[in-house]
A and B are shown apart, each in its own frame.
Chain A
């Protein structure tokens, strides 16, 4: 069906804020470890055992912040608190996105197809990925070693989860 965005056959990996792979941050179940491993693999990293890795890098989030200030801040606020448009952090945002049915690619899709609301599609794919990285960082997702690459194959398996 056209509105079913997920291929039911497609494997989706729960990623609890990628904390799964962080050592010394509480109990880590085998499932989480497996997911972390897979994430590292799908993002093309060879350091599969690098347990501290998130899906985006710090320099990328910094680039994303600069783009956010330029293209998004007027509607979503300095601290992503929203007003006049929706908040991009906080409980309501998390309730919408971290309900176990939304992938990173969904978030990227909304941003790349509809934002900035007045000039959708006006940034490059790489720039959209940078802004998404910044949104992830503000929402406390762990930083990794490599950039988030704007490819569906990489982002679709990543399910946003409370962390």
Chain B
């Protein structure tokens, strides 16, 4: 190498160092994620729109997609992780591990394995992915920790136990990074937690604010429970990704179901803020407003979906709206300014929804598994098409003769008997986002749980419980490409570009036992055109 080329190489190193993954993403980059062709936030951007502005893969080219690389996480636990891609590095999780890898070759750059330091909060063991900001990779753990890793090396920067595993809290959701805060809360509604969401300092994990989703005495909503006892194990945990209105600095938080799920006479009232979209000042945690999906729930019909959050033209006027969806099987659009509901569409079978479980049993749809679960709709803002995944699996809800709280165990106050597996199915429903008009439906032989991604190429990507990754034509729902990944797809499906080439990454593996699905080891498969 001659002198001039050495200088050139050194200069390149300096330049690439300056723009390497270590520094970002910055707040500005996160706010601009809507336009990014990488994938910076769990649902792509703060609004959770899940639209990738990429168009190499079109209905014409999609049939020639093929897998280009695979990573295996060697994890036989629920695989729901949503990968992120930033500056040419992908970050994905298994239940106990965090992995940085090359999003084109799947080669691992670093891997961090968490060894539990405390008793694990509950038996609903899972992790849904990381948040990324200012050179840090932040995630939760089953034993209640929030940890920050160095994005460049995987070294632990800080670890703080934010949740109380002794009260059955575990942190499985994807945290949300905003300014100098990480917004996150524990799951565990079924285990009789008393829910909350908090903000922790990005620099050291110290708590900045906390909002009780199940109120303490004197807090708003406390009088909707018929007494303090019911609130102590009232559920209302957080398990899915909030959305954020950046302009107003408001975080939209999806709150889970009340406990005990089926024995509602123990908690007379609306049971705020369960099954509710709560809107908080992201910087202080102060409650601005809320909208409840299912008051006084008797069927475990959480409200896990509070995105996409977007602005659209309705009746000739620009409206700020947010999508609200739940395990009750309703996809709703809400005006963020007037707070009125603009429409609701049933995306699954709904029968006997008003009948509370009895000891003899009450048949109802949706069943205990929804409806809409943890994967949110994707929206193509250019075509006004929103595509929502859903579960369709009815069954019989039974109330216990004797509801019993057993520490660390499911606190259902009853049981649910599923219809035979052959009767379980799933739907993708495409609606005109501004009006709710149904455009098409895709029927899956099993419940649909995978993330959905819309793209500028007019192709929608998602996966099925059977293990199939599918690419559909956004205009009519026809399947353009199908590939069996070998294990259930219940997690992230994202699309991004590296060096101008479009890729799709799909996480497959294990689904929780009650889905009765093809078991598999956690695997990430990347697809591209030849």
- What's the nearest-Cβ distance from chain B to residue A161, in Å? 15
Distance A109 CA – B398 CA, assembled complex (angstroms): 15
Pick from B229, B406, B415, B512: contact of A85, CB below 8 A: B512
- What's the nearest-Cβ distance from chain B to residue A65, in Å? 19
Q: A2-B229, A3-B192, A95-B119 are in contact. Are A83 and B408 (CB under 8 A)?
A: no
Interface: B233 (CB within 8 A): yes
Nearest B residue (CB) for A84:
B513
- What's the nearest-Cβ distance from chain B to residue A149, in Å? 19
How many chain-B residues does the 8 Å CB contact rule pick out? 38
Nearest A residue (CB) for B124:
A86
Contact with A along B123-153 (1 / 0, CB 8 A): 1010000000000000000000000000000
Complex contact A113–B400 (CB within 8 A):
yes
B residues 404-418 touching A (CB-CB < 8 Å): 404-412, 414-418
Complex contact A110–B78 (CB within 8 A):
no
Q: A3-B405, A83-B519 are in contact. Are A121 and B398 (CB under 8 A)?
A: yes
Complex contact B513–A75 (CB within 8 A):
yes
- What's the nearest-Cβ distance from chain B to residue A15, in Å? 18
Complex contact B519–A84 (CB within 8 A):
yes
Complex contact B417–A121 (CB within 8 A):
yes
Q: A3-B232, A114-B410 are in contact. Are A85 and B513 (CB under 8 A)?
A: yes
Complex contact A119–B418 (CB within 8 A):
yes
Set of chain A residues within 8 Å of B249, measured between Cβ atoms: none
Nearest B residue (CB) for A106:
B406
Pick from A5, A75, A120: contact of B417, CB below 8 A: A120
Pick from A76, A83, A109: contact of B404, CB below 8 A: A109
Distance A2 CA – B512 CA, assembled complex (angstroms): 30
Complex contact B417–A83 (CB within 8 A):
no
Pick from B233, B409, B416, B510: contact of A84, CB below 8 A: B510
Complex contact A96–B229 (CB within 8 A):
no
Pick from A74, A76, A84: contact of B512, CB below 8 A: A84
Contact with B along A63-105 (1 / 0, CB 8 A): 0000000000011100000011110000010011001011000
Nearest B residue (CB) for A2:
B266
Pick from A3, A4, A96, A121: contact of B408, CB below 8 A: A96
- What's the nearest-Cβ distance from chain A to residue B395, in Å? 9
Nearest B residue (CB) for A4:
B405
Interface: A46 (CB within 8 A): no
Set of chain B residues within 8 Å of A102, measured between Cβ atoms: 406-407
Complex contact B415–A84 (CB within 8 A):
no
Contact with A along B383-411 (1 / 0, CB 8 A): 00000000000000010100111111111
Set of chain A residues within 8 Å of B232, measured between Cβ atoms: 3
Nearest A residue (CB) for B402:
A109
Pick from A1, A96, A109, A120: contact of B416, CB below 8 A: A120
Interface: A118 (CB within 8 A): yes
- What's the nearest-Cβ distance from chain A to residue B403, in Å? 7
Interface: B511 (CB within 8 A): yes
Interface: B338 (CB within 8 A): no
- What's the nearest-Cβ distance from chain B to residue A5, in Å? 5
Set of chain A residues within 8 Å of B511, measured between Cβ atoms: 84
Set of chain B residues within 8 Å of A5, measured between Cβ atoms: 404-406
Contact with A along B213-236 (1 / 0, CB 8 A): 000000000000000010011000
Set of chain A residues within 8 Å of B519, measured between Cβ atoms: 83-84
Distance A110 CA – B406 CA, assembled complex (angstroms): 8
Q: A1-B229, A83-B76, A86-B123 are in contact. Are A109 and B406 (CB under 8 A)?
A: yes
Q: Name the residue among B78, B409, B418, B514 with the largest chain A CB count within 10 angstroms.
A: B409
Distance A120 CA – B415 CA, assembled complex (angstroms): 6
Distance A109 CA – B232 CA, assembled complex (angstroms): 22
Pick from B266, B415, B510: contact of A83, CB below 8 A: B510
Interface: B38 (CB within 8 A): no
Q: A84-B78, A106-B409, A110-B409 are in contact. Are A118 and B120 (CB under 8 A)?
A: no
Interface: B516 (CB within 8 A): yes
Nearest B residue (CB) for A5:
B404
Nearest A residue (CB) for B412:
A114
Distance A75 CA – B511 CA, assembled complex (angstroms): 11
Interface: B77 (CB within 8 A): yes
Set of chain A residues within 8 Å of B404, measured between Cβ atoms: 3, 5, 106, 109
Contact with A along B250-272 (1 / 0, CB 8 A): 00000000000000001000000
Set of chain A residues within 8 Å of B405, measured between Cβ atoms: 3-5
Pick from B407, B415, B421, B512: contact of A114, CB below 8 A: B415
Complex contact A3–B416 (CB within 8 A):
no
Nearest A residue (CB) for B511:
A84
Contact with B along A103-132 (1 / 0, CB 8 A): 000100110011001111110000000000
Distance A114 CA – B405 CA, assembled complex (angstroms): 13
Set of chain B residues within 8 Å of A86, measured between Cβ atoms: 123, 125
Nearest B residue (CB) for A119:
B417
Distance A84 CA – B512 CA, assembled complex (angstroms): 5
Contact with A along B273-284 (1 / 0, CB 8 A): 000000000000
Nearest A residue (CB) for B405:
A3
Nearest B residue (CB) for A120:
B415
Set of chain A residues within 8 Å of B229, measured between Cβ atoms: 1-3
- What's the nearest-Cβ distance from chain B to residue A121, in Å? 6
Set of chain B residues within 8 Å of A106, measured between Cβ atoms: 404, 406, 409
Complex contact A3–B415 (CB within 8 A):
no
Pairs across A and B, CB under 8 Å, 12 listed:
A1-B229, A3-B233, A75-B514, A84-B510, A84-B515, A85-B513, A96-B407, A96-B408, A110-B409, A117-B513, A119-B418, A120-B415
Sorted nearest first, the 8 A-B pairs with minimum C-beta distance are A75-B513, A85-B513, A120-B415, A3-B405, A86-B123, A84-B513, A83-B76, A96-B408
